Each structure stands twice: as structure tokens, then as C-alpha cells.
Amino acid sequence: MDTAVKTIFSQNGIDLFGAVPFEKCVPANERLYEKYKGVMKTVLIFAVPYRTRLVPQDDYKMSMYARVYDYHKKFVPLFEKLTAQFKERFPENVFEGYVDHSPVNEKHAALLAGMGVAGRNSLLITHKYGSFVFLGSVVTDMEFPDETQEIKTCMNCGKCIEACPAHAIRERGIDPDSCLSGINQKKQVTPEEAAFIAACGYVWGCDECQNVCPLNAGALTTDDEYFTGGFINELSAGWLRGLSEEEFCQYPFSWRKREVILRNIDLIDAQRP
């Protein structure tokens, strides 16, 4: 990879990245993919770790990504800086940044770049930060040497399959309709789903498959103030109700309104002794 590109990533606190030919990536957003096909030459894929060393003081379970501020709000200014610096250094080229709505499958691109392995739980498990990362991509018409690697899979130890409370991990990844993370984010749940939420104890999401993964055991954490500063240390119904709308919208669960997560807290509290 070009030394200047590496330097720009490093200056923005990004130390896990790679370059993949656009033509070797698979589509995610069909409209954008067709728009860029034959025009963009490279996908610059990078990872941002979100797991901190902070330990919650409450007794609720919650996916770690939901205990920190919404990553989308971090990526907006990050892309502004990255693309501005890329364009300043390479004024003849085009650079466009994406997160979630990328024209290409970012997990697949990261695997091609050799940034990690594909887990049985369908997650990318990076060599440095485990599976606790968010992915971003910058598509460009700048060409890079093709250094793609063969996609590698995890050791297939089966621990994530055993730990999944919903038995949602199948031969080809996760069944989203069965996954607890999908169930406890629903606006409306059946009595059976409500009982399942209460029994599992997760107010939002589920990290069980990640927590037992041997490849996550030595994963590094982040000291990024964006994630440490907004960390939810003591979750409670009272704390949630007391948040202003502006404060509530800082968190990734805000897209479902606070009634959903408050419902889950009530379900879990009701089954406790």
C-alpha cells in the first residue's frame, strides 16, 4: 500500500486496514455498486475497535457496542478528515467514504485484505481487536497492487454454537430470525419471545458468541475517548427515562425508541427474585 495512505490512516488513529481491488469485492448496495463499477479501482477497508477496558457496574446484560456512543456519529467526522486528506495528497483521484451502506460487503473486503478470519457466528474476527470492531470503507479510483489473500475461517471449535442461547448459529452463519439480538430489538414481541428475553437477561443485543470465542480472549481494547466517554456504567430504567432526547440519541439503541429497551428491562426485572 502507498506509504502516504498508510500515514493518513495512522494520523487518524487507524492501525488496521487494507486495500482490495473493487472488482474482487461483492456487492452490498446494488445501486452504488453499479454506479462505481468500472470507475472505482480500490476499496480501502479499515476497522475501528469499540470495546473498552471499562466494566459495567450494573447487573444487566447488553451488547458491548450498545454501551458506547453510536459509531455512525464517530464515522461522519472521521470520513470528512480521511477523504479531505486523501484528496489533498492525491488531487487527481476520487475518494468516497461509507459505513454500513457501502457499495461492497465490508466484511468480505476485510477478509480479502487479510485483516482477520470468518467466524462460525458470521462475524469478522480480526487478529488485533477480535470481533469487537466496526468497519468503514473508502472507495477510490486510485489503483493499488493486488495483495488480496485467501479467505480464512476460524478454528471451528464450536464454542459459539454451544453458547448461543437461541441456537441460531447454523452451518452458514446466523439465522437472523432466531438470534436473540434480533428478538430483543423488536417493537412487538410474542409471549414466548418476551419470556425468552426475560430468561436470557439481555436488554439489548447479545454478545454470548463473542464472549466465548477463543480468538477474542487476547483481543486488545481501545482507549478512544469517544467510546470511553459515553460508556454506560450503570444502566437502569430510571437512568434511561432521565436522558434528554439529545442524550438518548447518542446511543445505537435509540433508533428503536426508548420504549423497547425499557420493555426489556421490565421483562427482566419481573422474573428476578
Using DSSP's 3-state secondary structure scheme, residue 20 falls into: strand
Cell representation of residue 165: 442461547
Residue pLDDT, tens place only, 223-252: 999 999 999 999 999 999 999 999 999 999
pLDDT in the model for residue 246? 96
Q: Work out the pLDDT band at 259, boundaries 50, 70, 90.
A: very high
pLDDT in the model for residue 170? 86
Q: Work out the pLDDT band at 63, boundaries 50, 70, 90.
A: very high
Residue pLDDT, tens place only, 164-182: 999 999 877 789 899 999 9
Q: Quick check: 1 pLDDT over 80?
A: no
146 catalytic residue (yes or no): no
Question: How many alpha carbons fall within 13 Å on the CB side of residue 129?
Answer: 23
Residue pLDDT, tens place only, 109-123: 999 999 999 999 999
Exposure string of 209-233, with b = 16+ CB inside 10 Å and e = fewer, is bbebbebbeebebbeeebbeeeebe
Task: List, in sequence order, every residue forming a beta bridge with 20; answer none if it has no partner.
Answer: 43
Element (H, E) at 204: strand 202-204
Residue among 148, 154, 156, 153 at smallest CA distance from 114:
148
Q: Which of 100, 141, 175, 224 is catalytic?
A: 100
Residue pLDDT, tens place only, 134-146: 999 999 999 999 9
pLDDT in the model for residue 102? 94
**CB-based contacts of 95, cutoff 8 Å, min separation 6:** 82, 83, 86, 87, 138, 139, 140, 142
Domain ranges of the chain: 1-273
Instruction: In the chain, count H helices and then E strands.
Output: 12, 10
Q: Are 150 and 68 spatial neighbours (Cβ–Cβ below 8 Å)?
A: no
User: Average pLDDT in the 127-139 region?
Assistant: 97
State percent of the chain over pLDDT 70: 100
Residue pLDDT, tens place only, 75-117: 999 999 999 999 999 999 999 999 888 999 999 999 999 999 9
Q: What is the mean pLDDT of the chain?
A: 95
